Amino acid sequence: MIKTLAATTLLAASILTVSAQSRPQSEWPVYGGQAAQDHYSPLTQINRTNAKNLAVAWTYDTGEKGGSQSSPIVVGGILYSYTPSQKIIALDAATGKLLWKFDSGIAGTQPVRGLAYWSDGTSARILAGVMNFLYALDAKTGQPIPSFGVNGRIDLREGLGRDPATVSIALTSPGVVYKDLVIVGGRESETLPAAPGDIRAYDVRSGKLRWAFHTIPHPDEYGYDTWPKDAWQYSGAANNWAGMAVDTQRGIVYVPTGSAAFDFYGGDRVGDDLFANTLLALNAETGERIWHFQAVRHDLWDRDFPSPPALVTIDHMSAKVDAVVQTTKQGWVYLFDRENGTPIFPIEYKKYPASTIPGEVSAQMQPLPVIPASYARQQLTEDMLTNRTPQAHAWAVREFHTFRSAGQFIPSSLEKQTVVFPGYDGGAEWGGPAVDPETGILYVNANEMAWTGGLAENKPSAENGATLYQSQCSICHRDDRRGSPPGYPSLIDVDKILTPEQIRNTILHGLGRMPGFPEFSDEQLDALMRYLRTGDDKNELKSESSSAAPIEKYRFTGYHKFLDPDGYPAIAPPWGTLNAIDLNTGKYAWKIPLGEYPELAAKGMKNTGTENYGGPIVTAGGLLFIAATNYDKQMRAFDKTTGKLLWQTTLPFSGNATPATYEVNGRQYVVIAAGGGKDPKSPSGGVYVAFALPK
């Protein structure tokens, strides 16, 4: 579990380090606002009374397409962020003027959501992930710092106990800084082979590894008996892809993890699989476990913790409690005492049906909180199907009767598609919540979409392109290669859209939500590409060929979003919501739909809510800012007390990112990365838009 490579931190370095918490409150120095990940700003210049007057102060167009999920950080009047292709930029935060741009020369194909900042009071560094590398850049010049790692970067594929050439890992969410450490996780493959999801801390000056926590425990480590013997040598993931929060006073880093690979079948990882799907509290100095809570045992539903937790002090039973709060894809909020992990509200463990898949052993008991109530519906029933048109309703009823729909923790079946509701994208997603320290109210946006999935048996008589596709690709693109657009595109006629070299590079290095598969041999790549091009499963590999990618006995038949024939959700609205939950009591302050489809709104079907990606921020000025909605390209400001809409504006592209707010020269700004990319019917881009009150 722990591998400590330096017994102590240099005291002088710790004293000199300027933490983000000590930065002026007018700045936004950390992804998520502060190390507490509360998305909160004490600024009040923009407030309830004048938000209606907000106007564009500046824009910066990266000139790139592809969409952006990046939330900027702002330190010393400089805004740091990414372009869609993962170039790092520094802008004058008052004007949007480009100060410098760093191009690593690596074609970034994975989403990136933010950067980290470190300073010792005399020099400052930007810590930026570009695919599998972590760079340390001089904050003034944007140039790599040669003394960090090898020529200014660390290769995160190294040190995981696997052949680095076969490892797929990308730093999509930024690391967190504690004193002179940068602590990172990483996004990894969701099918085997996958690297283990070790949490690692590096010296921010030298790039040397200081400690590592094994989320798949090694022999004699806590939790080893919850996995099969030696699972740490072949299993993978249980990784932190969503980001972390740090209690800088206590020296605790809070780390949410995702599911183990393979996501939907665990016959080769029988057991509870600790520390997958777990909120970990680690000693930030040493990596030692302080406490943990596992929200999903032996996950078979891809129920990752999707965002960093947030730290807040609440009033509970007439006492002040320092708490950590975690939102989930399932639509639930967990709240714990920050020091010891004691639940603030009751959590019930209930029995759920056993899996019927041969070789699978699902967990008998799963936990769900009693309070607060879920912010997303939990079980799809016939009376919840769409009434958008009589034809759409009739179609939805027919389809629904072919599914199994019984709520949470129902294992997949070989016979029928099983409803997962809220869907594989939540509930809450990677944008994370905002928490108001003034009131203890949490604000979280959520998707309310139904998805279905199932399992099918693999019967490979020989290793060929079809077998490789079914074992590694069908999990996202379905057995029939039709995908589930827009998140999972169809691969039918992909050779008419991409060149053979583009297809090969995408398979090896990944693209968007897709991880890379560097373990494939040239022969395997050729066989898979032939299958993608022709759909022919007869292109067998040579019998002596051996795959680095093990073939599971069962495969996931693909993500199926439950949409009607016109492409709209086949369930009744709301399809996306914004929720305000009082953490002191567990009661809701308000709940409203978030977003709409412009073409439906024009016909009178308004306030339906839509899928949304990217989180909110909350301010002392009484405002909640959020963009996030996929189809209407709106950014909105709400009264944080009532949920009343006070301002909205149309962005050049959908703002599928979390805003930031800051003050420069006495003027407050709110900035958003508008890039779109979630709607295949609309173009994508990469534009930063900053708003302020007129001078």
- Distance from C-alpha of 289 to C-alpha of 51, rounded to nearest angstrom: 45
Domain boundary residue, one of 495, 521, 551 = 551
Same domain, 624 and 666: yes
- Distance from C-alpha of 674 to C-alpha of 691, rounded to nearest angstrom: 13
Q: Give residue 19's pLDDT.
A: 53
Q: Give residue 22's pLDDT.
A: 56
Contact 121, 110 (CB under 8 A): no
The answer as to whether 399 is a domain residue is: no
Lowest-confidence segment of 20-34, 71-85, 514-528, 562-576 by average pLDDT: 514-528
- Distance from C-alpha of 435 to C-alpha of 309, rounded to nearest angstrom: 10
pLDDT tens-digit series, residues 375-433: 999 999 999 999 999 999 999 999 999 999 999 999 999 999 999 999 999 999 999 99
The answer as to whether 409 is a domain residue is: no
The answer as to whether 301 is a domain residue is: yes
Q: Say which CATH number the domain at 477 has.
A: 1.10.760.10
Token digits of residue 557: 């038949």
Count of structural domains within the chain: 2
pLDDT tens-digit series, residues 647-671: 999 999 999 999 999 999 999 999 9
All residues at 6 or more sequence positions from 398 whose CB lies less than 8 Å from its CB, including other chains: none
Q: Is 483's pLDDT higher than 50? A: yes
For tokens 């939990």, what's the residue?
378
The answer as to whether 402 is a domain residue is: no
The answer as to whether 154 is a domain residue is: yes
All residues at 6 or more sequence positions from 333 whose CB lies less than 8 Å from its CB, including other chains: 325, 326, 327, 369, 372, 375, 442, 444, 581, 583
Same domain, 372 and 512: no
Name the average pLDDT for the chain: 91
Same domain, 253 and 340: yes
Same domain, 510 and 587: no
pLDDT tens-digit series, residues 599-623: 999 999 999 999 999 999 999 999 9
Same domain, 515 and 602: no
The answer as to whether 17 is a domain residue is: yes
Please report which confidence band the pLDDT of residue 6 belongs to, taking 50, 70 and 90 as the band edges.
very low
Please report which confidence band the pLDDT of residue 515 belongs to, taking 50, 70 and 90 as the band edges.
confident
Same domain, 477 and 591: no
Q: Say which CATH number the domain at 232 has.
A: 2.140.10.10
The answer as to whether 561 is a domain residue is: no
Q: What percent of the chain has pLDDT over 90?
A: 78
DSSP annotation string for 55-109: EEEEEEE-S--S---PPPEEETTEEEEE-TT--EEEEETTT--EEEEE--S----
Same domain, 445 and 486: no
Same domain, 436 and 507: no
The answer as to whether 410 is a domain residue is: no
Same domain, 146 and 232: yes
Same domain, 498 and 372: no
pLDDT tens-digit series, residues 330-364: 999 999 999 999 999 999 999 999 999 999 999 99
Same domain, 361 and 503: no
| Full domain range(s) for residue 492 | 459-551
Same domain, 588 and 547: no
